[in-house]
């Protein structure tokens, strides 16, 4: 029976690349929605003032700032933190699948076909995101320039990543005799 490890590695590589892109999109939208909520809640929180439930007044603005200020700081860091994780994940995928895989040369056609499928899929995601970005919406997606760049140019990025990884996968000496 033939060794099926090569096809599994190629599928895992492709699934990992698309998963990185989809996670970037989801985190981008969720952080934009949460940031929009913080922008609406912050003025209300600052106007709460004191309230007296018992004999001692409680400053609700101060108590709410203990919660909302750190949370808002965390949400605001997603503008640059998430794209850095995306870039790190792509580099990680090159290292893992390019250097540590022992692919067979007969899988080159399958790898190329699968990478073309991934590039077309990322082009669809990129065009859908561009349509959403061009609409007038209340989310602050236009402020996230690095994330926008990575999503809009994801077909090119995935093509370069696929080319580099393919070179590493299929040019190393695996001990296989060529016909």
For residue range 117-176, list pLDDT tens digits in order: 888 888 888 888 888 778 776 566 677 777 788 888 888 988 888 888 778 777 766 555
Q: Is residue 138, in this structure, part of any structural domain at all?
A: yes
Position 39 pLDDT exceeds 60: yes
Confirm whether 51 is domain-assigned: no
* Domains: count for the chain: 1
DSSP string, 147-179: HHHHHHTHHHHHHHHHHHHHHHHHHS--SPPP-
Query: 3-state DSSP helix/strand/coil percent for the chain, to nearest 5?
Result: 80, 5, 20
Can you give the pLDDT at residue 3? 53
- Asked, for residue 24, whether it belongs to a domain, the answer is yes
The answer to whether residue 165 sits within a structural domain is yes
Residue 149 lies in a domain: yes
Residue 48 has pLDDT above 80, yes or no: no
* Whole-angstrom distance, CA of residue 112 vs CA of residue 163: 9
Q: What is the pLDDT of residue 66?
A: 80
Structural domain of residue 104, as residue ranges?
5-33+57-171
Is the model's pLDDT at 47 over the cut of 80?
A: no
In a domain, 49, yes or no: no
pLDDT at 113 over 70: yes
Q: Which residue has the tokens 């299929």?
A: 170
Asked whether residue 144 is assigned to any structural domain, the reply reads yes
Does the residue 75 lie in any domain? yes
């Amino acid at each position: 029976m033939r060794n099926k490890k090569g096809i599994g590695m190629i599928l895992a590589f492709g699934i990992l690349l698309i998963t990185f892109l989809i996670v970037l999109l989801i985190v981008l939208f969720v952080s934009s929605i949460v940031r929009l909520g913080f922008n609406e809640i912050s003025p209300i929180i600052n106007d709460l003032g004191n309230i007296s439930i018992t004999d001692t007044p409680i400053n609700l603005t101060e108590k709410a700032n203990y919660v909302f200020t750190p949370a808002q700081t965390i949400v605001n860091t997603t503008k640059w933190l998430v794209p850095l994780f995306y870039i790190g994940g792509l580099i990680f995928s090159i290292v893992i699948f390019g250097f540590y895989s022992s692919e067979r040369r007969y899988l080159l056609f399958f790898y190329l076909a699968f990478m073309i499928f991934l590039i077309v899929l990322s082009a669809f995601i990129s065009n859908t995101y561009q349509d959403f970005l061009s609409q007038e919406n209340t989310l602050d997606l236009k402020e996230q320039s690095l994330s926008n760049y990575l999503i809009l140019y994801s077909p090119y990025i995935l093509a370069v990543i696929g080319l580099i990884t393919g070179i590493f996968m299929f040019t190393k000496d695996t001990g296989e005799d060529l016909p």
